[in-house]
Structure 1
Amino acid sequence: MTTSVVLFTRDLRLHDHPPLRAALDRSAAVVPLFVRDRAVDAAGFAAPNRLALLADCLRDLDAGLRDRGGRLVVRSGDLVGQVCAVVGEAEADEVHVAADVSAHAHRREELLRSALEARGCRLHVHDAVTTVLAPGSVTPASSDHFAVFTPYFRRWGEHSVREPLAAPRRVRVPDGVGSERLPGRKGLTGLSPGLPAGGEREARKRMTAWLRGGVTGYADHHDDLAEDATSRLSPDLHFGALSPAELVHRARGRGGPGAEAFVRQLAWRDFHHQVLAARPHASAADYRTRHDHWRTGAAAEADVAAWKEGRTGYPIVDAAMRQLRHEGWMHNRGRLLVASFLTKTLYVDWRVGARHFLELLADGDVANNQLNWQWAAGTGTDTRPHRVLNPTTQARRFDPDGAYVRRWVPELAGLEGRSVHEPWRLPKEERSGYGACPDPIVDLAEGLDRFKRARGRD
């Protein structure tokens, strides 16, 4: 009897899972395995919100496997060592795993392949599991990756997307392979109060509801902060509780401008993954350096603290930062605003903001988080790297009635209309009733002038 090991990483689902399908087609028995990689913990990626959703996903995956006669094997420690141990216990011939793009994933694959070959076990790496198209499958004639989104998207849209696979009906797991207890949320501290439940079953409910209704208005309202007309599926995509390929097929089947706009956002996700696959250093270093001399010292640290705590004095920025802390998630327009504010108005290193986001975001991963921060900072793929988003202008455009600000900055709830976006302009006697609202920590004109001088554009 042949046996395969399926190593789950960021693909915690049963629907549309090419490694699992390949293993089931080739072997009589399969060991579904997840290893809590201590190297990931040591690198600082074991943030409470993501640990909670990871626990949800693993428990849901185990439940789904048990419904099909199987179970999930969970181990922790050195990933290569644990996989090899399971291979030995199960007398497995093959290991199947989804491809990934980070430098850590590349090293993991190399070490795993070498260790398995020494045991006479084959490693099969499957593309287009965590992305719609495999990084490197769409390239320009003169480079190994696209550095600008628009031409990438044009070529991306010309490629066919593989058909989604059905979830297996039966999974046979051999006896004699031990497992640790499944992790849970109990004992985790520092969780965001509004953190949703994770796992494939909840994710598929969210996907179905989104495609039935929300996606219709996405093209017109996805930037509307108060309406919150986005899918909120990014944490499900991060953990692989949903298949991006299946999402593209189902959205295209729905049709219409909203679905097309949503598919474009999935292409953005693929775009960032192909950039990081080609340039792994971009997770920590400028993709395109602007030779910035970012602010440091006590004044900069005070500004960063105010930014993190949502007390910059710019209500739209503070609202978005408070949403992040409460939900472990932030509206995409909010992410652009707060990132531009930190890197360009305050002129603080993008890595400071990226690190804070990874401490809280349920959907925080290296490709999307780091490269979106670089885009906002002008060190990444933005074709207008020196653009600065004015928070009050953006607030008037994307939160015109101030509902988003009032939701997250309740001390300003009594202010009517657009005055909520600039409370510092109120007469002194009127503003005294909103004493908890801080003065702006920087004058926008002064911040813009500082940024231009720093970039040599004054």
Structure 2
Amino acid sequence: MGEDIQKPLTSRMSVALAWGLISSRTLINKILKKHSISDTGAETYISELIWREFYKYIMYHNPHCMNMELQTKKRNIMWREGKQAKIYFQKWIQAQTGYKIIDSAMHQIIQTGWMHNRARMIVASVLTKNLGIDWRWGQDYFRSVLLDLDEASNNGGWQWGASVGIDPKPIRIFNPYSQQERFDPDEKYIKKYLPKDYDLKEPIIDHKIARAEALARYNLNIIK
């Protein structure tokens, strides 16, 4: 619920859910007492809760997926390694990728221990697709900083972001520029979290080049 990342439209109940202060069932019952299931907001929020429970189901029946791709055919992806991988990963953590929407989101998680769900999708896509970094690195970093950490949801989100988990599409590559235009058109989110002395003019890797490399990494010859 609440895809406009610069607006406070989310419930912010994820921390309470993660710490066991309230259950998904209780939340759903409370929602349905006040709203019809046909209400867009209620339907969307309940859908997100169902996804949360679904990821728990997946983890319970596939405990190996905590550190292994759920899709067996995706277990041979050649992630970037060595010094360059470490440099890229640190740039991502330190909010120095040059993609403003990414760096804003990374500042948000550093400052608050929380990140909007849409922003989580975008930063995961850029780390794994644009930078070619193993999704497990991102999963472990989020585990270390998120106040609303839920192991199953964190794992499911990262595997989805890396296109190696529950997703019928062979690969999703989010364009950070179009994502910014769509979800933060007025740059309110960016202005809130990016420091005033932020002066990165160019990304650490061009999106067009990164996209081509990602398709090759996933053994896909797709031109769009």
TM range (shorter): over 0.9
Cα distance per residue 1:42-94 (max 9 Å; x no partner): xxxxxxxxxxxxxxxxxxxxxxxxxxxxxxxxxxxxxxxxxxxxxxxxxxxxx
- Alignment partner of 1:314 is 2:99: yes
1:249 aligns with 29
> Which residue among 212, 215, 223 is the counterpart of 1:452?
215
- Alignment partner of 1:405 is 2:168: no
1:303 aligns with 88
> Which residue among 273, 289, 292 is the counterpart of 2:77?
292
Bigger proportion of residues as strand: 1
- Alignment partner of 1:436 is 2:216: no
> Which residue among 170, 174, 177 is the counterpart of 1:392?
177
TM-score (structure 2 length as normaliser): 0.93
Runs of 5+ consecutive residues of structure 2 not aligned to the other structure: none
After TM superposition, where is structure 1 displaced by more than 2 Å over at least 4 residues in a row?
A: 434-439
Q: By how many angstroms is 1:346 displaced?
A: 0.8
Aligned residues: 216
Q: By how many angstroms is 1:435 displaced?
A: 6.8
Q: By how many angstroms is 1:357 displaced?
A: 0.3
3-state SS in 2 of match to 1:410: coil
> Which residue among 346, 349, 364 is the counterpart of 2:149?
364
Q: Whose RCO is larger (CA < 8 A, sep 6+)?
A: 2
1:267 aligns with 50
Runs of 5+ consecutive residues of structure 1 not aligned to the other structure: 1-217, 412-433
Q: Percent identity?
A: 36
Cα distance per residue 1:387-445 (max 9 Å; x no partner): 1000000000000111100111132xxxxxxxxxxxxxxxxxxxxxx673253100001
Q: Which runs of structure 2 are paired with 1:35-114 in the superposition (5 Å)?
A: none
Q: By how many angstroms is 1:382 displaced?
A: 1.2
3-state SS in 1 of match to 2:71: coil
Q: Distance in 1 between matches of 2:200 and 2:130?
A: 20
2:128 aligns with 343
Q: By how many angstroms is 1:371 displaced?
A: 1.2
Q: By how many angstroms is 1:385 displaced?
A: 3.4
Rg larger for: 1
3-state SS in 2 of match to 1:225: coil
2:18 aligns with 238
Q: Distance in 2 between matches of 1:368 and 1:292?
A: 22
2:41 aligns with 258
Q: Distance in 1 between matches of 2:175 and 2:137?
A: 20
Q: Distance in 1 between matches of 2:65 and 2:147?
A: 21
Q: By how many angstroms is 1:250 displaced?
A: 0.7
- In the alignment, residue 404 of structure 1 is paired with which amino acid? Y
- Alignment partner of 1:224 is 2:4: yes
Q: Distance in 1 between matches of 2:61 and 2:131?
A: 31
- Alignment partner of 1:329 is 2:92: no
- In the alignment, residue 243 of structure 1 is paired with which amino acid? S
1:379 aligns with 164
Alpha-carbon contact 1:311-1:438 (below 8 Å) kept: no
- In the alignment, residue 40 of structure 2 is paired with which amino acid? P
